[in-house]
């Protein structure tokens, strides 16, 4: 047999074209597939698309999740909470005291951090504000405000103390806190009691803003009870952490109850496009 002096068919261009199509397909379909697989909330657009609620504000990353409240400064986080305050006032809209339950899809989303700083923002606006720590299993408002856990909400609901004893003053003259109190296994029953309704009625007579720090929606029935008592609710979701699918299911379950979800707060936005577009100009302060 005589070896051929040249190939019968030159397939170099054919294989090069196949390689081009393969890399183009992977480059196009890969990011789309990864985006479909990753259901975590990362931007305000994700919140509105998956959860179907407006974004009331975006909070930048400010360090530890348990940062204490010592008054709002002039940084981007302070301006963020002032913006959230304005959005909440506009969304609430009704006359009389503002009563609001704040919850989140899961633990670690930053709801307690949001409640304490939003309360400070309302107090600095001149509104008499009280924070009710109704997360009666893992409440942290007492540690944020630098006070003892007892006497608190559950002690009052159990009939062991008076209302005057549980409403505590803070460093800001217009900001008060009702800490969680003693750990109670019958929390849903206590939150549904007549004493809880009496407490809220009395607080409405004394304060302009009542912020209820409730447990996560996925943890217990407590936030649904608290949302029904308040009538309005705000959700806190953490960028890069909150599962959008789970949050969507939890929010859908609220539609069976008389709870108006005013919107969501996107917490812990870090550097990137979202921080640039939804942040506040650095250095533009008094």
Per-residue pLDDT of the chain (286 residues; tens, 9 = 90+): 677 666 666 666 666 777 776 677 666 655 555 455 557 877 888 888 888 899 999 998 876 544 545 555 557 788 899 999 999 999 998 778 999 999 999 888 999 999 999 999 999 999 999 999 999 888 899 988 888 988 999 999 999 999 999 999 999 999 999 999 998 878 778 999 999 999 999 999 999 999 999 999 877 788 899 999 999 999 999 988 888 888 888 888 888 899 999 999 999 887 654 554 555 555 555 5
Residue with tokens 């009939």: 159
The 10 Å Cβ neighbour count of residue 252 is 11
CA distances from 33 to 50, 189, 278 (A): 17, 45, 27
Strands (E), the chain: 55-60, 98-103, 129-133, 168-169, 175-178, 209-213, 232-238, 260-269
CA distances from 113 to 29, 68, 184, 187, 206 (A): 39, 8, 23, 22, 24
Beta bridge partners of 64: none
Cα 27 to Cα 52: distance, rounded to the nearest angstrom = 30
Beta bridge partners of 34: none
Structure tokens at 53: 């609620």
Expressed in percent and rounded to 5, the helix, strand and coil fractions of the chain are 45, 15, 40
CA distances from 233 to 98, 179, 213 (A): 11, 20, 10
**How many residues does this entry show for the chain?**
286
Structure tokens at 46: 């994700």
pTM for the full predicted model: 0.82
């Amino acid at each position: 047999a005589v070896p051929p002096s040249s190939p019968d068919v030159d397939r170099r261009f054919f294989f090069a074209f196949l390689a081009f199509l393969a890399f183009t397909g992977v480059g196009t379909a890969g990011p789309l597939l990864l985006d479909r697989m990753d259901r975590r909330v990362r931007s305000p657009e994700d919140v509105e698309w998956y959860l179907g609620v407006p974004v009331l504000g975006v909070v930048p990353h400010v360090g530890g999740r348990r940062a204490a409240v010592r008054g709002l400064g002039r940084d981007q986080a302070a301006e963020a909470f002032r913006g959230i305050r304005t959005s909440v006032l506009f969304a609430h809209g009704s006359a009389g005291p503002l009563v609001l339950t704040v919850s989140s899809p899961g633990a670690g989303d930053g709801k307690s951090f949001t409640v304490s700083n939003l309360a400070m923002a309302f107090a600095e606006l001149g509104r008499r504000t009280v924070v009710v720590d109704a997360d009666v299993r893992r409440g942290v408002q007492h540690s944020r405000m630098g006070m003892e856990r007892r006497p608190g909400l559950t002690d009052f609901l159990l009939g062991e103390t008076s209302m005057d004893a549980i409403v505590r003053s803070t460093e800001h003259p217009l900001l008060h806190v009702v800490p969680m109190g003693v750990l109670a296994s019958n929390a849903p029953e206590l939150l549904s009691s007549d004493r809880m309704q009496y407490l809220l009625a009395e607080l409405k007579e004394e304060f302009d803003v009542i912020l209820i720090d409730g447990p996560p929606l996925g943890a217990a029935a407590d936030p649904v009870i608290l949302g029904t008592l308040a009538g309005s609710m705000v959700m806190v979701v953490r960028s890069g952490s909150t599962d959008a699918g789970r949050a969507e299911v939890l929010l859908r379950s609220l539609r069976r109850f008389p709870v108006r979800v005013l919107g969501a707060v996107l917490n812990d936005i870090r550097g990137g496009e979202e921080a640039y577009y939804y942040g506040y100009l650095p250095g533009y302060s008094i």
